[in-house]
Amino acid sequence: MAVTLAEVAAHAGVSPATVSRVLNGGYPVAGGTRTRVEHAVEELGYVANGPARALAAATSDLVGVLVHDVADSFFGILAGSLQSALAPAGRSDGRRLAVVCNTEGDAAAELAYLTLLEGQRAGGVVLTGGAVEEPGHTAALTARITRMAGTGAPVVLCGRPPLPVPAALPVVTVMFDDRGGAFRLAEHLLTLGHRRIAYVAGPPGLSTTRERLGGHREALRRHDPGLPAACDPLTVHAGFERSAGYDATRELLRRAEPFTAVAAANDTVATGVAAALREAGLRIPEDVSVAGFDDLPFCVDTAPALTTVRVPLREAGILAAQLVTGRRPLPPGGITTLPTELMVRGSTAPPPADGGRP
């Protein structure tokens, strides 16, 4: 029997109107109240759209695409190629409706969008970008994905690790070799002669940050077991925006710890790194080498062109579209990993003879 709005309200100890406000998302609700309602929705398996429950076995031509930031080129390229590749898969006019949901990297927003897509009988869902690695969120996300996939709607996890869902469900993971790419980038800097390598990492608690920082540190450790500890004072966590790279580099310069290279969490962050270095009177790459990650289109137009790691975003978008529409069979084990590629350009060079500044 379908769970009602009133039952969710009773379970959460609030009024039905409050539950409605939380689900609609357009009204201010106290944080504690919102959490109780979200937990009640999850525990009871409530779906906002009543008719959708009656038609649970049916699905629509709608495909939900969850991104962290639609204005970020990383997600724009991924979502754009995915949407274009959905065109041949529709049931009537040759198209599926891709609905892009901008979560801003917020775990609660991710769950809320999945609830809305479930209520709309989405024919499939693609979740892109790094996963928030918090046990409570992982458990809630796993339960939500299990329920959606249980209706026959394929779910693709793109650029994030797999979830512990039943093997029989149509859930597939498309991973990027972030760890291997970061390893090869650090190896490149080490081969050039760099030892004091600063690293502007992404936000803590995100799978992408863990993988890229892990690969970087592994390369340092293999070269010299003492290097990771020596470079720890040169590691700063920041966001994925240009301003984050700029602020992080200013912080590194204030620490007065000498470094000859900076590896950034992504290309956008690297542009902020470069701006802060130039502002401090440092030349790239003569004084400090700079490298990014992702190989976004602007990398070849920076001065000098940016050394980075290519992530196959367009290929991933096309593959995700094929998987979510059933045009490509699920890979063995439900997981496929796409390779990354080191792109050496003009922003990296051997360190200066004087050991570098500052």
Mean pLDDT of all residues belonging to the chain: 89
**Banded pLDDT at 161 (limits 50, 70, 90):** very high
Give me the domains of the chain, ranges plus CATH numbers.
1-46 (1.10.260.40), 178-310 (3.40.50.2300)
pLDDT (mean) for 314-329? 93
d(CA 171, CA 283): 48
pLDDT in tens, 283-313: 999 999 999 999 999 999 999 999 999 999 9
Cα–Cα distance, 257 to 234 (Å, whole number): 7
Lowest mean pLDDT segment, chosen from 29-38, 100-109, 326-335? 29-38
Q: What is the pLDDT of residues 45-66, one digit of tens each?
A: 786 654 444 344 446 789 999 9
Structure tokens at 103: 């979560």
Note the pLDDT tens digit of each residue in 259-290: 999 999 999 999 999 999 999 999 999 999 99
Does residue 343 have a pLDDT over 60? Answer: yes
Residue 228, pLDDT above cutoff 90: no
Query: Among residues 55, 56, 64, which one has the least CA distance to residue 324?
Result: 64
- Cis ω before 164 (30° cut-off from 0): no
Stretch (H or E) spanning 261: strand 261-264
Query: Pick from 309, 304, 308, 310: which is nearest to 347 by CA?
Result: 304
At residue 94, does pLDDT exceed 80? no
Residue 27 Cα distances to 16, 17, 23, 140, 350, angstroms:
14, 11, 9, 23, 55
**Average pLDDT, integer, range 342-348:** 98
pLDDT over threshold 90, residue 34: no
Give the residue from 240, 282, 289 showing the smallest Cα distance to 263: 289
Count other C-beta atoms under 10 Å from residue 249's C-beta: 30
**Helices and strands (H and E) in the chain: how many:** 13, 12
8 A C-beta contact, residue 180 and residue 157: no
- Reduced 3-state DSSP string for 299-316: HHCCCCCCEEEECCHHHH
Average pLDDT, integer, range 164-179: 94
Query: What per-residue confidence (pLDDT) applies to 53?
Result: 45
pLDDT exceeds 50 at position 231: yes
Phi-psi region of 94 (alpha: psi -120 to 50; beta: other; left: phi over 0): left
Tell me what pLDDT residue 25 has. 54
Which whole-number Å values give the CA distances from 342 to 76, 152, 171, 292, in the listed order?
22, 38, 30, 10
Q: What confidence tens digit (pLDDT) does each residue in 119-130 have?
A: 888 999 999 999
Given a contact cutoff of 8 angstroms between Cβ atoms, the answer to whether 307 and 291 are in contact is yes
pTM for this structure?
0.82
Give the pLDDT band (50/70/90) at residue 29: confident
Q: Averaged over 87-91, what is the pLDDT?
A: 55
pLDDT at position 353: 81
Mean pLDDT check: name the lowest of 47-61, 72-86, 159-173, 175-189: 47-61
Check pLDDT > 70 for residue 348: yes
Mean pLDDT value of segment 165-171: 91
